[in-house]
């Protein structure tokens, strides 16, 4: 490991690292070793109030595009310098294999940040429509509440466009993977971002997240996480009629129509389902295969899954690390154990112990999954793939659309017109 500080005692408010109002701390557990990696402050309502006041004071709706672009360029430069360390921290705090941490977990956020900066240069903040002049103005103070599965990406996807729009931010990271977010905020400080533009308050969601969502000084709430928690955030924000953006769970279908390149569709689908250990809200966790090619597809799936090595996430050869927490591991194992009782056939994997230490789950595939069963309907958030046969394209469409989720999906066919 490189230059890491895994014991954090202060919050970032109004451009300074300050002591929290309370004394509570949150332990961050390394899911590969089950050992305490570090701690972060467990903030209080008073800390949220101070952060919102700082963001409110720093908000300047008249700040021009050139200055916003300068801020973004400085942030991107500072962030890029810290990416190797941030990648190691992500691996340590939530178990992403180091190669995933060095690419998807860090390089994708960098590209996203650059994309927002480039978009800002050509964005029309004023537009003449008929006899009207439409102006687009900064919304105000943004409360950003982020999950643990892609800790840097989710923060970048909220903070960078907020800065580009001229907004200020109060940021709450997850309890499971907050340490990489502290390192990102240090990059903001390195970049010379003015005090109050971005503020960081860690702590329990029921305290920090709820206070942010209901706070009268917050104008916009951006939340990524579970559907249940998102519903609560929306309820609290609605009391003061805030604008709310919720990115919630998924149970996306990978539909492989008859005539598609089956080998490619299956291999890509398996890779998508198991990316980040299946801890991806947009993962294609249901694979829909025509009955006429079902047996062939299962053979390809089994061969593809065999290449997904489970192990130490710091080993470059590891493709699947541990679940991010004990609670998540137990949730995933519960889905696996109940699936057989619902009539699904275990093709590979299962609930057996993978390693003596660590919150590991074997990459698991169930065949003959009932589309209306728990496994066919609910988000697992682990390396578990449900394979479902279908009769024809109408049947496939009905199955694909037959869940409460609508986040992502894929269709493979012989040609675009068929898809």
218: number of CA atoms within 13 Å, CB side?
33
Please answer whether residues 141 and 56 qualify as being in contact, where contact means their C-beta atoms are separated by less than 8 angstroms.
yes
Give the separation between CA 365 and CA 184, rounded to whole angstroms: 36
Beta strands 132-135; 168-172: pairing state = unpaired
203: left (phi over 0), alpha (psi -120 to 50) or beta: left
Place of tokens 């988000």: 379
Is position 247 annotated as part of the catalytic site? yes
Q: How many C-beta atoms lie closer than 10 Å to residue 129's C-beta?
A: 7
Phi first, then psi: give them for residue 21, nearest 5 degrees: -70, -30
Please answer whether residues 171 and 185 qualify as being in contact, where contact means their C-beta atoms are separated by less than 8 angstroms.
yes
Give the separation between CA 264 and CA 224, rounded to whole angstroms: 31
Beta bridge partners of 346: 366
Give the separation between CA 104 and CA 87, rounded to whole angstroms: 10
Give the separation between CA 402 and CA 408, rounded to whole angstroms: 13
Give the separation between CA 153 and CA 142, rounded to whole angstroms: 17
Residues 6 or more apart whose Cβ sits within 8 Å of residue 64: none
| Catalytic member of 67, 93, 126, 247 | 247
Give the separation between CA 352 and CA 224, rounded to whole angstroms: 31
| Coil vs helix vs strand at 13 | strand
Structure tokens at 246: 């919720």
Residues 6 or more apart whose Cβ sits within 8 Å of residue 62: none
Q: How many C-beta atoms lie closer than 10 Å to residue 16's C-beta?
A: 13
| Coil vs helix vs strand at 235 | helix
Give the separation between CA 70 and CA 120, rounded to whole angstroms: 11
Which residues are designated catalytic? 247
């Amino acid at each position: 490991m490189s230059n890491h500080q895994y014991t954090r005692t202060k919050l970032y408010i109004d451009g300074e690292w300050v002591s929290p109002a309370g004394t509570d701390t949150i332990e961050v557990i390394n899911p590969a070793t089950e050992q305490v990696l570090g701690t972060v402050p467990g903030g209080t309502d008073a800390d949220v109030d101070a952060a919102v006041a700082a963001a409110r004071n720093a908000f300047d709706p008249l700040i021009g595009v050139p200055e916003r672009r300068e801020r973004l360029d400085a942030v991107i430069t500072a962030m890029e310098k810290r990416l190797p360390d941030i990648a190691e921290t992500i691996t340590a705090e939530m178990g992403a294999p180091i190669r995933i941490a060095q690419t998807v977990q860090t390089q994708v956020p960098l590209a996203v940040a650059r994309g927002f900066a480039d978009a800002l240069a050509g964005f029309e903040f004023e537009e003449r429509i008929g006899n009207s002049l439409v102006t687009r103005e900064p919304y105000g103070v943004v409360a950003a509440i982020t999950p643990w599965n892609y800790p840097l990406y989710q923060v970048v996807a909220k903070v960078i466009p907020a800065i580009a729009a001229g907004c200020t931010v109060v940021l709450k990271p997850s309890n499971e993977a907050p340490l990489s977010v502290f390192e990102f905020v240090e990059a903001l400080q390195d970049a010379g971002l003015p005090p109050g533009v971005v503020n960081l308050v860690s702590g329990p969601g029921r305290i920090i997240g709820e206070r942010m969502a209901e706070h009268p000084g917050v104008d916009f709430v951006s939340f990524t996480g579970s559907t249940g928690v998102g519903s609560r955030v929306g309820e609290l924000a609605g009391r003061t009629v805030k604008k709310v953006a919720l990115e919630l769970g998924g149970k996306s279908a990978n539909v492989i129509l008859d005539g598609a390149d089956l080998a490619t569709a299956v291999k890509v689908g398996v890779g998508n389902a198991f990316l980040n250990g299946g801890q991806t809200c947009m993962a294609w966790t249901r694979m829909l295969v025509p009955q006429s090619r079902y047996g062939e597809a299962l053979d390809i799936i089994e061969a593809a899954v065999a290449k997904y090595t489970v192990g130490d996430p710091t080993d470059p050869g590891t493709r699947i690390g541990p679940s991010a927490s004990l609670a998540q591991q137990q949730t995933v194992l519960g889905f696996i154990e109940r699936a057989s009782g619902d009539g699904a056939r275990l093709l590979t994997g299962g609930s057996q112990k993978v390693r003596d230490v660590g919150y590991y789950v074997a990459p698991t595939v169930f065949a003959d999954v009932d589309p209306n069963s728990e496994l066919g309907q609910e988000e697992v958030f682990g390396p578990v793939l449900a394979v479902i046969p279908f009769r024809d394209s109408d049947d496939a469409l009905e199955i694909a659309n037959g869940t409460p989720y609508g986040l992502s999906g894929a269709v493979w066919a012989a040609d675009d017109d068929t898809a």
